[in-house]
Amino acid sequence: MPQDIQQDSPSPLDSFNSCPTFDTKPCKNRSISLSLLYTKLEEDRLSGIERDNRLLLKKMSCIMRTKGQIDNKNDYKAKSLNREKRKKELLRVSQENRAILDRITKSEPQYQVQRWYEDWQQAEKYMANIARYPRGQCKAQSQKVNNQYLNKHVNHVLEFVRLQEDTT
């Protein structure tokens, strides 16, 4: 019997040879752990899709029950904080423009076309008097044509000035 008792009692050397009750070693077959990971990710993704589908189905059934009317109407009217200031500025600018226009229309013309023409004729006389050689027939004839053109142009300008004076 003493041998049976010895076998039943633990010896100090047996504690080093004992195995743990839980296996804490990593799996030797790595493909199994990866496949478990992928299946877990796939389940999470599918559960998210299912949740989104349920929410969408709930919204669609609400739309079907309520004839699809929109419930997000906004009766807010946009208000500008500086509308009055802009109106005042616009009125001020338009009044200034009107005043400038009145001053322009009431002012007398500064150009005296008739005087310019007379000055030009006087300058031509001076040029003819101080010329070294007398002017030939060709130049006299072209001068006659130029004078006719200038007279016609001056008459048109004078008519325009008279019309402008009559309107004011």
The residue written with tokens 């589908």 in the block is: 53
Domain housing 41: 29-68
Q: And the tokens for 135?
A: 């002017």
pLDDT of residue 135: 63
The answer on pLDDT for 55 being more than 60 is: yes
115-124: list long-range contacts, CB under 8 Å, 24+ apart.
Answer: 117/150, 117/154, 120/150
Give 91-144 pLDDT, tens digit per residue: 999 999 999 999 999 988 788 888 999 999 999 888 888 887 766 555 555 666
Q: And the tokens for 128?
A: 């003819």
Domain assignment of residue 18, yes or no: no
Domain assignment of residue 16, yes or no: no
Domain assignment of residue 106, yes or no: no
Q: And the tokens for 61?
A: 């059934």
| Average pLDDT of span 136-155 | 66
pLDDT of residue 69: 67
- Identify the domain boundary among 39, 68, 97: 68
Domain assignment of residue 54, yes or no: yes
As to burial, measured by CB atoms within 10 angstroms (0-12 exposed, 13-18 middle, 19+ buried), residue 54 is exposed
- Identify the domain boundary among 68, 94, 128: 68
Domain assignment of residue 7, yes or no: no
pLDDT tier, 1 (very low <50, low <70, confident <90, very high otherwise): very low
Q: And the tokens for 60?
A: 């669609």
The residue written with tokens 């010329």 in the block is: 131
- Identify the domain boundary among 5, 38, 68: 68
Q: CA–CA separation, 165 vs 168, rounded Å?
A: 5
Supply the pTM of this predicted model: 0.27
Q: CA–CA separation, 80 vs 87, rounded Å?
A: 11
* Number of domains within the chain: 2
Domain assignment of residue 47, yes or no: yes
